[in-house]
A and B are shown apart, each in its own frame.
Chain A
Amino acid sequence: MQGGQERATGEKMVLNFGPQHPATHGTLRIVLELDGESILKATPHAGYLHTGFEKLGEHLDYNQYIVVTDRMNYLSPLSNNFGYVLAVEQLLGIEVPKRCQYIRLLMAELSRVADHLLWLGTAALDLGAFSVFLYSFREREKLYSIFEKTTGARLTTSYTRVGGVLRDLYDGCEEDVRQFVSNFPKALKETHTLLTRNRIWMDRTKGVGAISPDDAIDYGLTGPCLRATGVAHDIRKVEPYSSYDEVTFDVPVGTNGDVYDRYLVRMEEMIQSCGIITQVLDNMPDGPVNVEDNKITMPNKSDAYGHIEGLIHHFKIVMDGHGVQLPKGEHYCATESPNGELGFYIVSDGSGTAYRIRIRPPSFFHFQALPHMLEGGMVSDTVAVLGSLNVIAGELDR
């Protein structure tokens, strides 16, 4: 860093980084003002993937909107599905059956592992560690097979419903998940041996892109990026939702808030998630997966075909303007998504469509804080810092 300052000639160079740069993982753009190799000013630009999700929410009914939430953070669509229906259910004032809560919790934690694995692979790839990418994608593939068998899709899962989930777990799901969980720590250890004490990895990440706890809160950072600074804040702990208070897990924190600490925090979170998954499987209750209220969830197919009430309920749920109706009011519900606080603020006017849906995406705040972490550093750190934040364009621009 000092070397760059000494060589300064006073001539500025403007470097456009993205939106098609391979290390931006999507459509991010940063305009860098450079003096030699040191960064004087970084200006992030958002909006290349703006899709109008919030406007769409005012025209789709509550169950239709679940499909849109898949496309926000497309690395962990199950967490988005979960966070969204939780907000709707809390405004509706209902609680889903225990089994449903546990299934959602299981899927949310599996998708947290999948999200962190993809982050790990690509962040390491950006810094030149190619084999880590292969190892983490090998593990991620196993998770995606589980998602595919459970939800019918690898990416656009749309698994949750208002008042329940699409369907119960498939036969043999528990064995698949248990097998994954028992092998995973060993597989992650391979990555640890490749990176954690690796001289090159430490030089590229230690002390790079550091942010203090106060600055992190000031900028609104949440999730692993906030915890890497030493703030032990996890919504799953302080505002437990959906039976998170019934499982035990630790909240890993860092000390320096740099790229290396974000890496370590995410690595440990994956292990903690595996612990949660084992507890969930051990204590998985039996019972229904949907609330037994046919004004909210679909009746069984046999009822819809065989009984007049079932047919009417089925018809009303799927008909425009007759589906799930929320009471008039507003609610903000925050969940701990893999990237941080994912919030849904829903304003209802009492009809079957939201009056306003606001999504509070964690990536928006992380990308905003990027100049604070970059300025004064070297241009080659840009890739390391950007990779460590895991900014997802889908939820950044919505």
Chain B
Amino acid sequence: MNEEKEVEEQSIPLVLEKLEEHHADALLSQDEMRGTIVAVVRKEQVYAVLEYLKTDPELAYTFLVDVTAVDNSQMESELMQFDYARFMVVYQLYSYQGQCRVRVKVPVHENDLSVPSVTGLWRGANWLERETYDMFGINFEGHPDLRRILTPDDFQGHPLQKDYPLRGRGERESFNFDKQNA
């Protein structure tokens, strides 16, 4: 039983070990929450880190499970920890080979909302990044088609930002569909 536990403990930090070896300058913090490794990395190096996680034969995080963001503007502790970066873009990865998950997070400041797009690594990232742009206003640089996806094209604002009211900002005045056809 003890031996098993030791093996488990050794196998979990492999990701962090390798990241520290190859991308130590990119790592801002590392943590483990409920069995999942969480690595916070610098925005400039996120593409390189994700590419490394995907292509390294020992790690092989080939499956991009999810891309989303969190608006930390009402979470003081998170803000203080990461130099008052308002947004945190979150990537969830899964390795079919190692059957384990890792979460990569990127702090994004409000004055520069651009993050490198990972559509070059996973085609599935396309819509995920479009949704994150739609909901939070994060600009994914290098995305082939960064349009709104869930809200209409002429929608104003980004609904999942914390300062966006639950009931919206009034009704839509017009549908441009009518204008186009008038």
Contact = CB atoms under 8 A, between A and B. Distances in A.
Contact of A218 (B92, B101, B122, B149): B122
A218 B128 CA distance: 13
Interface stretch (B1-9, B14-22, B60-68): B60-68
A46 B96 contact: no
B81 interface: no
A329 interface: yes
Contacts of A90: 34
Interface string B136-154: 0000000000001111100
A52 B124 CA distance: 22
A358 B150 contact: no
Question: Chain B interface: which size bin?
Answer: 35 or more
A42 B129 CA distance: 20
A46 B66 contact: no
A274 B25 CA distance: 52
A220 B166 contact: no
Contacts of A330: 33, 38
A231 B124 contact: no
A239 B65 contact: no
Interface string A73-93: 000000000000000001101
A132 to B, nearest CB: 32
A249 interface: no
Contact of B92 (A54, A217, A238, A345): A345
Interface centre among A55, A58, A93 (most CB of B within 10 A): A55
B65 A334 contact: yes
Contact of A368 (B36, B65, B127): B127
B26 interface: no
Contact of A50 (B63, B65, B66, B151): B151
Contacts of B64: 220
Nearest to B135: A54
State the majority secondary structure of interface residues on B.
mixed
B99 interface: yes
A47 B71 CA distance: 22
Interface string A325-337: 0001111101000
A350 to B, nearest CB: 9
Interface in B113-143: 122-124, 126-128, 131, 135
A347 B103 contact: no
A365 B99 contact: no
A217 B166 contact: no
Given A217-B63, A231-B96, A368-B127, A331 B150 contact: no
Nearest to B125: A220
A47 B92 contact: no
A178 interface: no
A46 B33 contact: no
Contacts of A349: 74-75
Given A55-B159, A360-B66, A332 B122 contact: no
Contacts of A91: 34
Contacts of A364: 127-128, 131
A254 B66 CA distance: 25
Contacts of B124: 218-220, 365, 368-369
A397 interface: yes
A355 interface: yes
A346 to B, nearest CB: 10
B160 interface: yes
Interface centre among B33, B66, B166 (most CB of A within 10 A): B66
Contact of B66 (A219, A331, A358): A358
B90 A47 contact: no
A347 B160 CA distance: 14
Contacts of A47: 148-152
Contact of B166 (A55, A368, A398): A55
A329 B34 contact: yes
B93 to A, nearest CB: 11
Given A218-B124, A360-B65, A368-B124, A54 B36 contact: no
B65 A220 contact: yes
Interface of A: 46-47, 50, 52, 54-56, 58-59, 90-91, 93, 215, 217-220, 231, 233, 238-239, 328-332, 334, 341, 343, 345, 347, 349, 355-356, 358, 360, 364-365, 368-369, 372, 397-398
Interface of B: 33-34, 36, 38, 62-66, 68, 70-71, 74-75, 77, 90, 92, 96, 99, 101, 103, 122-124, 126-128, 131, 135, 148-152, 159-160, 164, 166
